[in-house]
Structure 1
Amino acid sequence: MSVVAGRPGDGVAGAFAAAPPSLRDRLLEAAVQVMTTDGWGRVTMARLADHAGVSRQTVYNEIGTKNDLAEAMVMRELDRFLDGVAQSFDAHPDDLIAAIRDSAQRVLEYAEDNALLHAVVSATHGADTELLPLLTTHSEYLLEGAKLVIRERVAAYDVQLPPQRLDASIDMVVRVVLSHVMQPSADPARTADDIAWIAMRVLG
């Protein structure tokens, strides 16, 4: 997993804006747009080729099969999600609660209007049953990946909790954030403040 530099609160998508998109990124972005507007069944290599101004063979060479395309789309969103968490902890090396607040806000801002990420979190995507096994598998990867990133970063802070209680606390925070990805109850900043308050009480 690569960590992309960015200011706290800018959101993960903004951190990618400076670099011109590669052909692969352009194809994946086009695939996400088609899937979220027309459904997975309307995503074809020919349509992606037209969007990028390349031949269909070039799309196959760059992406592979349609199953490879689905995998690449999902993994890109998950990597960006986890990169955002890592960025927030990098920005607050001496304040764990601030790191949690920033990562929650960053993730929630990135998740707004991100239909693919919502599909992964819920492991559903309407009637696109072809994608369900992939989404179900990667929803577990997202949960475990987020907990792993936070667990590794929390080790650098002075948290006076036994390992079992710390793991339970991390699990709780991650699940609360993901629940707000699926069903927001307030704007990202306010929700992040609430999550940080809970984390402060739990982590002491």
Structure 2
Amino acid sequence: MSGAAERRTAVFAALRSLLLERPWGDLTLEAVARDAGVSRQTLYNAFGSRSGLAQAYTVHLADALCALIAETLTTHADDPRRGLEEALRMFLETAAEDPLIARVRAGEAHHDLVRIVTTDAGPLLVRVAGLLEEAARVAWPGTDPAHHAPLARTLARLALSYVTTPPEYDDGPATIAADLADLLAPR
């Protein structure tokens, strides 16, 4: 990993850690820089602002989740329904544990954060859908490729809805994932 990639990883780890302790509104770039072991100027150069840092963290989190989903789909390549169920369960559990997502869901997030996953979410949706479509293509080469893009776009939208609003029923991630997999898995 390059020095820049290591710094980004350290910054995102520091941000996550600080978000576990305090709300976004109380977080300063100075505190993130200190905990990441970089200068405040380095953060400004890399992200431009707190909003830029939040956007970069969101993309980083989305990419990491998509990589886990891709790995899960590939692990269960012989059973697309099971792979999709496991990937959705893992996503729901991981999303529930992320402090930034928790802040958004609790209504404790600054409006700039909420916009990243609501009104300004277009680029994020396109990115996630592209990653999920590629994951489906790789994991399920024997399925109809015409199914991959609509499935990926639907999953991206569903994922974003679960980021901004937790499920309205308390069936738990495993049941929700099983229900969604029954509806969406390629046949």
- Which of residues 19, 22, 44 in structure 2 aligns to 1:38? 22
Is 2:52 aligned against 1:75?
A: no
Tell me if the contact between 1:24 and 1:63 (Cα under 8 Å) persists in the aligned partners.
no
Question: 1: CA distance between counterparts of 2:158 and 2:175?
Answer: 14
Per-residue Cα deviation, 1:36-55 (whole angstroms, up to 9, x for no partner): 65333322232224334555
Residues 147, 171 of structure 1: 8 Å contact kept: yes
Query: Which region of structure 1 is more displaced relative to structure 2, 73-82 or 110-119?
Result: 110-119
SS at match of 2:69: helix
Q: Counterpart of 1:101?
A: 85
Report the alpha carbon displacement of residue 100 of structure 1 after superposing the two structures with TM: 0.8
What does residue 89 of structure 1 align with? Answer: 73
Equivalent residue in structure 2 for 1:66, among 50, 69, 72: 50
Q: State whether residues 85 and 103 of structure 1, in contact with CA within 8 Å, keep that contact through their aligned partners in structure 2.
A: yes
Identity %: 26
Matched, 1:136 2:113: no
Q: TM-score, structure 1 length as denominator?
A: 0.64
Aligned counterpart, 1:50: 34
RMSD: 3.6
Residue segments in structure 2 that go unaligned for 5+ positions in a row: none
Task: Decide whether the 8 Å contact of 2:62 with 2:128 is kept in 1.
Answer: no
Residues 135 and 170 (structure 1 numbering): CA distance in 2 closer, same or farther, change over 3 Å?
closer
TM, length-normalised to structure 2:
0.69
CA contact (8 A) 2:24 2:110 kept: yes
Q: Is the 8 A contact 1:82 1:145 kept in 2?
A: no
Q: 1:150 to 1:28 in 2, by over 3 A?
A: closer
**Distance in 1 (alpha carbons) for counterparts of 2:152 and 2:126:** 11
Q: Which residue of 1 aligns with 2:183?
A: 198
Q: Structure 1, unaligned stretches of length 5 or more? A: 1-20
Asked whether the 8 Å contact 2:13–2:36 carries over to 1, the reply is no
> Post-superposition, which runs of at least 4 consecutive aligned residues in structure 1 deviate over 6 A?
none
Instruction: Decide which structure has greater helix share.
Output: 2
Contact persistence 1:35–1:42 (CA under 8 A):
no
1:183 is aligned to 2:166: yes
Is the Cα–Cα contact under 8 Å of residues 119 and 135 in structure 1 kept in the other structure? Answer: no
Determine which of 134, 145, 168 is the counterpart of 2:127: 145
